[in-house]
Structure 1
């Protein structure tokens, strides 16, 4: 049975000091790196996603001068800028596939992005025969939630490692984890890997 690790949006703009910083983002980057050092060989596929928004335009209404922080946001993770880079505390040597999402449009799930070769996450998982995936990253209540729900919809057994995620707000993060558990995801800590 093939396993995948899905690393969601551990980027400079989502960690401390970024345009949409999430408290605990740097700690997640460090902890995911430590986890990879110990467990990368346990996975057939390791996919890391990044928001990669266009510099011009509003990216389908995703960027706004007066964002509502639900459907519209301040400018963040613009393609080719330092904000779109992986957090420097995230060591990506073991990553087998890098995915970019949100080019010209809103995108929360890594399943909405493509690799440099143009493959979708679903295609990568299917080709590798992945039956289970562990999900980590930022932000629990947005892109982690959407990516884990899409992994479930793809027919993959999902575990969300609650010690390797960080959310925007406690209330919405708790609600997202409850929704994921209800949808069939297992909530676990990475020591259970």
Structure 2
């Protein structure tokens, strides 16, 4: 008998691994505290999933979200842009640089898709599903639906930005969503980590530890 808190991934499930890149790990340009700690958990999780998608932040030089693109601005200030408030970040994950590359410890050879996001110079992209205007799709939803995916599991960086926006969008467009919060780390800008948990609860997005995942063989 499978306990209610146990997940056995099947053909309609996908693990979405968010932005395990050099610049989001210690020593990177936009390092998430202890971000590298999630890699071993992600590798272990991925072995249980027949379907895995990786996302990769992929900014051109001079991206709108970079503080360096706004004379006199500093990282972590907020400015108003066409699509609303935008936090300004240090230059990070610039296309073709080491910072944009996946960490070499990430070991998911059976990943079926690498989705690059944030490559439109004039709009940021936290979510794997929509640009930050919340209207422009990345195409991931259609890809998953055409393959019969109904439930999206998530892990990666950062919990309170790219994981959060991806989870919220996935739930909003009809997917069931589970976030493995022990396989995520947060930047925590102005209480954003706590706000993420509150929003997940309000939207019915489950947060569970990665240990609740098993495979069918283990249940026999």
Q: Which has the higher helix share?
A: 1
TM-score, normalization by structure 2 = 0.77
Size of the aligned set, in residue pairs, is 182
Kept in 2, the 8 Å contact 1:145–1:177? The answer is no
How many Å separate the matches in 2 of 1:35 and 1:129? Answer: 21
**3-state DSSP class of the match of 1:40?**
coil
Q: Deviations over 1:27-58 (max 9, x none)?
A: 11121012223x133xxx31110110002x2x
2:76 corresponds to which residue? 68
Within a 5 Å distance, the mapping from 1:34-113 to structure 2 comes to: 34-37=44-47, 39-41=48-50, 45-55=51-61, 57=62, 59=63, 61-65=64-68, 66-70=74-78, 71-103=87-119, 104=121, 105-112=123-130
SS at match of 1:110: coil
> Who is 1:4 aligned against?
14
The answer for unaligned runs of 5 or more in structure 1 is 114-118
**Residues 16, 52 of structure 2: 8 Å contact kept:** yes
SS of equivalent to 1:18: coil
CA RMSD of aligned residues (A): 1.8
Q: Is the 8 A contact 2:13 2:49 kept in 1?
A: no
Q: 1:109 to 1:3 in 2, by over 3 A?
A: same
- Unpaired runs of at least 5, structure 2: 1-10, 69-73, 79-86, 132-137, 214-220
Q: Could you tell me which residue of structure 2 aligns to residue 116 of structure 1?
A: none
* C-alpha distance in structure 1 between counterparts of 2:182 and 2:95, whole Å: 29
TM-score (norm 1): 0.88
Stretches of 4+ moved more than 3 A in 1?
none
Show the counterpart of 2:4. Answer: none
Task: Name the structure 2 match of 1:165.
Answer: 184
